[in-house]
Amino acid sequence: MSSRSDIPNRLIYTCNCGWIDIGHLVSVEKPANRHASASYLWKDVSLERGLQVPGRPDHHLVMYRQGMRKFGLSRDFTKFYFIRKGLPLATQRSVALAIFKEVSMGFEDVQASLSAFTDSGFSEEDLVSNLLGFYVAVLGNVDWRNHCKPVSAEASRVVWDTLGPVGSRKNRQFVPKLHACEECKTKHHITQPQFPPIFSSIRPAQQGADFFEATEATPGLPVPVHMLSTLFV
């Protein structure tokens, strides 16, 4: 749940990417929540370091989760996927993005169900910030600031004061809502903001031969789905 006081250390307005939550964007592999990191997910996929499950020698099993710890509440959204080994780099990126988007949407749904406690569910900046963090982790050399064009704290506060809290405006898409900002014109010389094409350069894969979700109906799982997380350290 973002507040006006988060500007500019955590929250900032950008000309081409709208509101950005830097905390969502930075993919930090902390020991307590490394499976929630886009960087960690990408390493699982690209290095094929998921669990080896007997009977499925051509696949490895990965876990990806997103979670929150606020106001004494603890909520997670976790899924498990079998990914075929030997995929080319481009396909690995597509698979990782598909997993990332599906879990991101699921977690925002979880937060939305807690609207009595938080307005974070599908807050305007969440999904876009997540997406930028994914591209930074996967492509490695993405200068998001150069692409998005952040404005000053003062200009960000003007946008906030004009439109109200970001949590009051919902965004269920991985594209930003862009708003009028005088500094975009005077400092960055942007009169027609546009979401940078680099952040849609990877097409999410469809579940099928290359990857699929592990569910209770999936044969050969070592333990029931609700216990799979205990196998990941």
Q: Which residue has the higher pLDDT, 74 or 45?
A: 45
Instruction: Give yes or no for residue 123 having a pLDDT over 80.
Output: yes
Q: Which helix (H) or strand (E) holds 153?
A: helix 153-163
pLDDT for the residue 190: 97
Residue 21: φ, ψ to 5°:
-95, 105
187 to each of 17, 62, 147, how far by Cα in Å?
16, 44, 14
Beta-carbon contacts of residue 210 (< 8 Å; ≥ 6 apart): 83, 84, 87, 91, 94, 95
Instruction: Give yes or no for residue 28 having a pLDDT over 70.
Output: no
CA-CA distance, 141 to 136, in Å (whole number)?
7
pLDDT per position as a tens digit, 177-232:
999 999 999 999 999 999 999 999 999 999 999 999 999 999 999 999 999 999 99
Q: Cβ atoms within 10 A of the Cβ of 70, count?
A: 13
Check if the beta carbon of residue 20 is closer than 8 Å to that of residue 150: yes
Residue 25's pLDDT band, with cuts at 50, 70 and 90, is confident
Mean of the per-residue pLDDT values of the chain: 91
Q: Which residue has the higher pLDDT, 95 or 1?
A: 95
Counting residues of the chain whose pLDDT is more than 70, the rounded percentage is 90
Check if the beta carbon of residue 159 is closer than 8 Å to that of residue 179: yes
Residue 1's pLDDT band, with cuts at 50, 70 and 90, is low
Residue 97's pLDDT band, with cuts at 50, 70 and 90, is very high
Instruction: Give yes or no for residue 116 having a pLDDT over 60.
Output: no
